[in-house]
Amino acid sequence: MLTTARALGGEVVACVAGPASLAESMQALSFDRIIHWQVAEDLPAEVCAAEIAARAIREAPQAVLASDAASARVILGQAAAALKAAIVASVRSLARKDGRIIVSRATAEGKVLEDIAVPGAAAVIYDGDDMDAPAAVTAATETIPVTSGQMKVVETLAAAEGAGLLTALRVIGVGMGLGSKENLSAVEELATALNAAIACTLPVCNDMRWLADHNVVGSSHSQIAPDLYIAAGISGAPNHLSGVRDAKITVAVNNDPEARIFKFCDYGIVGDMHEIVPALTAALQ
């Protein structure tokens, strides 16, 4: 996101709403300045939205970029309205041409990029690759304490189950192509051979009850970033893909060569998962 912002030229300022540790992590990156709204522990980041929007008017940026995290999108909306900025989601890159910002966004399930020319400021929800941009020097940080707001966190419940999925280096995900719960045993054998955790799509949990809620990966459930993600019998619905897009290497196994997942993965085997999964286990052993 930082690299994308740099493509427009000029100063790049990080607006951070959260604890001190979050601002410290931003200091490791090559921002020119950091403005840190240091919110009290019992407040959500969204309490800063109006204040960040007001600051955006003073700073008058050409573009505001946010991740698709829930808090970031709320704050972006307020900043966009304050700046009377165009607002676009699924954005992969920004460029400047003839005095306008060209916003490139993924459309048609990521098959195509749509270039949108914006004459004024642009507020975008970034959906591209993140690259390391380490800082040569630590950026100056302005800290603004936030101690009250119209919202308050009264309880935080960490899921007891499924925590291993979030930190697993290797994950095997299964979709409706699994066919039946009995076929899970072959996936479990592969997971053992690969030292991997098992994830699934939403219908595998909700409709079929083959796996539990804490196994679900997707925009409405867990987002994971393993080194290796193997998607077996998964078509590639947007909900699921947004939960695994930070995986370093994605492998898809699907018998439909036109399956959407093949547009998203690094490696794909076009074949029957019921043959490929046991063969992969055997090859690993």
| Residues 25-84, interacting with other proteins (CB under 8 A) | 44, 46-47, 49-50, 53, 68, 70-71, 73-74, 76-82, 84
* Between 137 and 154, CB nearer to other proteins: 154
Question: What's the CA gap between 220 and 209, in Å, rounded?
Answer: 17
- Candidates 130, 143, 181, 248: give the one binding other proteins (CB under 8 A): 248
Question: According to the binding rule CB under 8 A, does residue 213 interact with other proteins?
Answer: yes
Question: What's the CA gap between 260 and 234, in Å, rounded?
Answer: 9
Under rule CB under 8 A, which residues in 105-124 are in contact with other proteins?
A: 105-120, 123
| In the complex, minimum distance from the CB of residue 162 to other proteins, in angstroms, rounded to a whole number | 6
Question: What's the CA gap between 109 and 125, in Å, rounded?
Answer: 16
* Between 59 and 213, CB nearer to other proteins: 213
Question: According to the binding rule CB under 8 A, does residue 252 interact with other proteins?
Answer: yes
| In the complex, minimum distance from the CB of residue 71 to other proteins, in angstroms, rounded to a whole number | 8
For residue 61 the two structure tokens come to: 């940026």
Q: Report the run of H or E that residue 228 belongs to, with start and end.
A: strand 228-232
Question: What's the CA gap between 160 and 236, in Å, rounded?
Answer: 28
Sketch the per residue contact string, 186 through 205, with other proteins: x for CB under 8 A, - otherwise: ----------------xx--
Under rule CB under 8 A, which residues in 121-150 are in contact with other proteins?
A: 123, 125, 150
- Candidates 8, 22, 40, 89: give the one binding other proteins (CB under 8 A): 89
Q: Cβ distance 35 to 12 under 8 Å?
A: no
Reference 169, options 265, 277, 248; nearest CA is: 248
Q: Looking at the chain, how many residues does it have?
A: 285
Q: Which residues of 91-129 are buried (b: 16+ CB within 10 A; e: fewer)?
A: bbbbeeeeeebbbbbbeeebeeeeebebeebbbbbbbbe
For residue 53 the two structure tokens come to: 């929007």
Query: How many residues bind other proteins, per CB under 8 A?
Result: 102
CA atoms within 13 A on the CB side of 210: 25
Question: According to the binding rule CB under 8 A, does residue 178 interact with other proteins?
Answer: no
| In the complex, minimum distance from the CB of residue 274 to other proteins, in angstroms, rounded to a whole number | 10
* Between 188 and 203, CB nearer to other proteins: 203
Q: Cβ distance 120 to 157 under 8 Å?
A: no
Question: What's the CA gap between 35 and 46, in Å, rounded?
Answer: 15
| In the complex, minimum distance from the CB of residue 201 to other proteins, in angstroms, rounded to a whole number | 12
- Taking CB under 8 A as the binding criterion, the range among 21-29, 87-95, 135-143, 172-180 that sits at the site for other proteins is 87-95
| In the complex, minimum distance from the CB of residue 15 to other proteins, in angstroms, rounded to a whole number | 15
- Candidates 159, 185, 212, 256: give the one binding other proteins (CB under 8 A): 159
Angle between helices 273-284 and 184-194 (to 10 degrees): 30
